Amino acid sequence: MRKGKLSRNTIAVGIVVIDALRSKCPLQKADIVSKGGEIKGARSKLPTTLAKYSIPGFLKEATTRQVHQDGQRLLEELRFGKLFQHLTLTEREAVLRDLIDILIGEAMAWLARQHLKVVCNRDAAPGVWVGEILDQARGRSGGRVEQHLVGAKLSRAHPNVTIPSRPGAAADAQAGHAGDFEVATTVYHVTAAPGDDVIHKCDANAREGLHPVLLVPARDKVRAEVLADHLGMGHRMTVLAIEDFLSVNILEMSKGERSNFIGTLRGIVVEYNRRVEEAETDKSLKIEVR
């Protein structure tokens, strides 16, 4: 690989190469390099490989010509894995894992430097902007972006109510809370991946005389509603898409003036970033509005 600071593409293709060597070593050139000279697995299969090492959201595909040359150069330096032939299987795996851990560290350092960014198309509806943020956060934040966005919205909508900033990884039950947020007798649960557990929490809220509201990304709203119906909670809780939840707030706070929509979103983002700064160690979860 090239010396000096590694690009995001080069880091990704390096992970693809080392991962391939962990599966088969040594490799034949045809196993890993296409007839066109590209590293196999560096395009459509890249997100799957990166997710395997807990770095989803890093890069969708490595496409530059230079990066495929970098991949081939790495393979040549490793002699397509023949460099490790004298090692036992256990020793070889340890060396390859060390190499991939170095690249994972580079990837995580890159992610730590990059905030989520949303470019607001003036012709788009506010829900589209929120959806763009959630798409960037998907698989990267473990639901923390979703939680802090909802917290920011509630904080601005209820200035006289304390809306706590808790680390997104904190479990409601372990922390002794009815849900992520409570406003009067309404309990809000925020999740990027709705499952049975959160519906059971909503059931517990309802039994305590509270009204549970489940907030999920729009893509998971139907699934959450089906789960609620299946578990007998369909008529005892409210399921909302986070995009809709924030859009209504943007429309209301902007007083219907389209020219104010982006300014209102920026206000929510300012509060969101404050909450991330207060509660999270990963500051890359902050959002930049452009």
Amino acid type, 84: F
State both tokens at 273.
């970033």
For the chain, the domains span 8-113, 116-289
pLDDT digits (tens, 9 = 90+) for 243-259: 999 999 889 888 878 77
CA contacts within 13 A on the Cβ side of 232: 5
- Is residue 134 classed as helix, strand or coil in its secondary structure? helix
Q: Give the pLDDT score at 2.
A: 44
- Is residue 241 classed as helix, strand or coil in its secondary structure? strand
| DSSP code for 12 | H
pLDDT digits (tens, 9 = 90+) for 191-208: 988 999 999 999 999 999
State both tokens at 193.
């991946």
Burial level of 20, CB count in 10 A (0-12/13-18/19+)? buried
Instruction: Tell me the CATH number of domain 116-289, given options 3.40.1350, 3.30.559, 2.60.40, 1.10.8.
Output: 3.40.1350
93: left (phi over 0), alpha (psi -120 to 50) or beta: alpha
Q: Give the pLDDT score at 175.
A: 53
Q: Any residues with CB less than 8 A from the CB of 8 and at least 6 apart, and which?
A: 58, 59, 107, 110
105 Cα distance to chain centroid: 18
Q: Any residues with CB less than 8 A from the CB of 259 and at least 6 apart, and which?
A: none
Q: Give the pLDDT score at 171.
A: 46
Considering the entire predicted model, what is its pTM?
A: 0.61
d(CA 228, CA 133): 26
Q: Give first-to-last CA distance, the chain, whole Å.
A: 34
A 10 A CB-CB count for 136 gives 18
State both tokens at 109.
């350092």
Regions of the chain short of the pLDDT cut 50: 1-3, 171-174
